[in-house]
């Protein structure tokens, strides 16, 4: 097989593997709803349940990125996927809250696949095509949407315990396909005796911290809302779980599959320009999504009149669809920053930034639950995200916009 054929094969099977891993990682976003009802969990407990797999999937990203640089993506990805199969299967036998939390920690290892595949795929392509290649691979985020199509169908037909059993079988089959059709190139290995603690010193670089902040929104927010949206639709609009999952996929699907377009745009116009507009679109959407359902009465000359203000299910879904597109572009543009600034250290830096994004996906669902329990306002989740986006916009303005005009970034990105 030619070098170009090997690169294409690696891209296809790696994207498939990441899609399945992400589908498994987001499993609690659907099966968590009947579990919540069976165990009588409050919103905070539900947030912790859905977020637990995200924790381990985030924490392992830095060491996995380092091991990928050192040992190669093929062997690391294979071992990672194999390690999750027993835990996924065991999930169907859990009966108590702590069972789900503990097993969820091991299932969550699947989320670390991103920091393996990103450097593995990127090194098979020339620099001018790395943004697109990483965007295609990152489209595996659409596994969150696949979960919303597959899990409800299994849940309604056979009960929630069938979902992890089927997912374990899918993971095993994908592992075999990945091993058969992926390739290794010794030239891609980066010899290093650097320790994990030494790699974390990269956090002293202000650019890395900034990219972590951006990614905690476009990826962390994506993960958090993907986990939260099905139960949001059920509670806010009274939909059944199948209809809720279908509408929630209107956010998850574009948030995953359009990442490749974000990579292409970042290659053409520059990471800064794309990220800047992504944050502004996010700011507008989250402002509108934050407004709670409101009923108020005013006294007029003709007597009291009552008004209702709030988003109906169609307007809400439309805004979520736009937000999903924006965050798909943003996820790709952040990693274009990394490939531009750290070409020899993509695995480690992508692991650190991926860790920050994953931790955002862990913390945010818990905070969503806490805010809901404290205020009783479901849209408080979007209020929180709106504030986080404000921080990034201000940070970007003072560190990039005032210092470097947007046109400079466009010019620099072109050959």
Question: Which DSSP category does 298 fall into?
Answer: E
Whole-number Å distance between alpha carbons of 343 and 207:
14
pLDDT-derived band of residue 13, with 50, 70 and 90 as boundaries? very high
CA dist list (Å): 140 to 156, 223, 324, 340: 25, 13, 14, 22
In tens, the pLDDT along 28-81 reads 999 999 999 999 999 999 999 999 999 998 888 878 887 888 888 999 999 999
Whole-number Å distance between alpha carbons of 232 and 263:
30
User: What structural domains and CATH numbers belong to the chain?
Assistant: 3-180+203-413 (1.20.1250.20)
CB atoms inside a 10 Å sphere around CB 377: 14
Q: Which residue has the tokens 């968590």?
A: 32
Packed helices 3-25 and 143-158: angle between N→C axes, nearest 10 degrees: 50
What is the predicted pLDDT for the residue at 405?
Answer: 47
Is residue 403 pLDDT above 70, yes or no? no
Question: Which DSSP category does 404 fall into?
Answer: S
Is residue 203 pLDDT above 80, yes or no? no
Element (H, E) at 157: helix 143-158
Which sign, positive or negative, has the C-alpha torsion 337, 338, 341, 343? negative
Whole-number Å distance between alpha carbons of 247 and 334:
27
User: Are 100 and 46 in contact, with CB atoms under 8 Å apart?
Assistant: no
pLDDT-derived band of residue 410, with 50, 70 and 90 as boundaries? very low
Q: What is the mean pLDDT of residues 80-86?
A: 96
Whole-number Å distance between alpha carbons of 157 and 141:
26
pLDDT-derived band of residue 257, with 50, 70 and 90 as boundaries? confident
What is the predicted pLDDT for the residue at 105?
Answer: 94
| CA-wise closest residue to 42 among 231, 225, 221 | 231
CA dist list (Å): 65 to 119, 130, 189, 215: 8, 17, 12, 16
Q: What is the mean pLDDT of residues 349-363?
A: 84
**What are the φ/ψ torsions at residue 414 (nearest 5 degrees)?**
-90, 145
Q: What is the mean pLDDT of residues 13-29?
A: 93
DSSP 176-207: HHHHHH----GGG-------HHHHGGGGGSHH
What is the predicted pLDDT for the residue at 378?
Answer: 92
What is the predicted pLDDT for the residue at 406?
Answer: 43
Whole-number Å distance between alpha carbons of 273 and 334:
11
For the chain, give the percent of residues with pLDDT over 90: 51
With a CB cutoff of 8 Å and minimum separation 6, the contacts of 188 are: 72, 73, 120, 123, 124
CA dist list (Å): 361 to 196, 269, 339: 22, 28, 23
Whole-number Å distance between alpha carbons of 213 and 207:
10
| CA-wise closest residue to 214 among 128, 336, 112 | 336
In tens, the pLDDT along 86-122 reads 999 999 999 999 999 999 999 999 988 988 988 899 8
User: Are 306 and 297 in contact, with CB atoms under 8 Å apart?
Assistant: yes
Whole-number Å distance between alpha carbons of 52 and 107:
9
**67 three-class SS:** helix
């Amino acid at each position: 097989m030619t070098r170009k054929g090997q690169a294409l094969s690696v891209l296809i099977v790696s994207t498939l593997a990441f899609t399945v891993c992400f589908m498994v990682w987001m499993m609690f976003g659907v099966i968590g709803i009947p579990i919540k009802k069976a165990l009588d969990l409050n919103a905070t407990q539900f947030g912790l349940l859905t977020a637990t797999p995200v924790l381990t999937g985030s924490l392992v990203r830095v060491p996995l990125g380092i091991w990928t640089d050192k040992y190669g993506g093929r062997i690391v990805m294979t071992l990672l996927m194999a390690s999750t199969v027993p835990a996924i299967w065991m999930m169907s036998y859990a009966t108590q809250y702590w069972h789900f939390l503990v097993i969820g920690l091991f299932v969550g290892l699947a989320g670390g696949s991103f920091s393996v595949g990103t450097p593995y795929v990127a090194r098979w392509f020339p620099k001018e095509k790395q943004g697109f290649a990483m965007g295609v691979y990152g489209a595996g985020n659409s596994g969150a949407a696949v979960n919303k199509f597959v899990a409800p169908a299994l849940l309604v037909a056979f009960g929630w315990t069938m979902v992890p059993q089927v997912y374990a079988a899918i993971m095993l089959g994908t592992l075999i396909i990945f091993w058969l059709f992926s390739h290794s190139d010794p030239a891609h290995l980066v010899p290093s005796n650097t320790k994990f603690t030494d790699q974390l010193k990269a956090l002293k670089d202000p650019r890395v911290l900034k990219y972590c902040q951006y990614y905690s929104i476009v990826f962390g927010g994506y993960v958090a809302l993907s986990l939260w949206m099905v139960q949001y639709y059920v509670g806010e609009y009274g939909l059944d779980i199948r209809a809720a999952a279908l509408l929630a996929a209107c956010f998850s699907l574009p948030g995953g599959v359009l990442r490749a377009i974000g990579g292409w745009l970042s290659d053409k116009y520059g990471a800064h320009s794309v990220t800047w507009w992504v944050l502004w679109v996010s700011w507008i959407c989250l402002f509108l999504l934050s407004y709670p359902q409101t009923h108020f009465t005013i006294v007029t000359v003709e007597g009291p009149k009552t008004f209702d203000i709030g988003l109906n299910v169609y307007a809400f879904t439309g805004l979520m669809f736009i937000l999903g597109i924006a965050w798909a572009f943003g996820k790709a543009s952040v990693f274009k920053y990394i490939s531009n600034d750290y070409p020899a250290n993509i695995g480690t830096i992508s692991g650190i930034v991926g860790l920050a994004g994953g931790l955002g996906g862990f913390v945010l669902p818990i905070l969503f639950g806490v805010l809901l329990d404290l205020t009783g306002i479901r849209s408080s989740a979007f209020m929180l995200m709106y504030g986080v986006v404000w921080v990034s916009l201000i940070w970007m303005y003072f560190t990039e916009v005032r210092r470097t005009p947007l046109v400079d970034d466009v010019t620099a990105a072109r050959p």
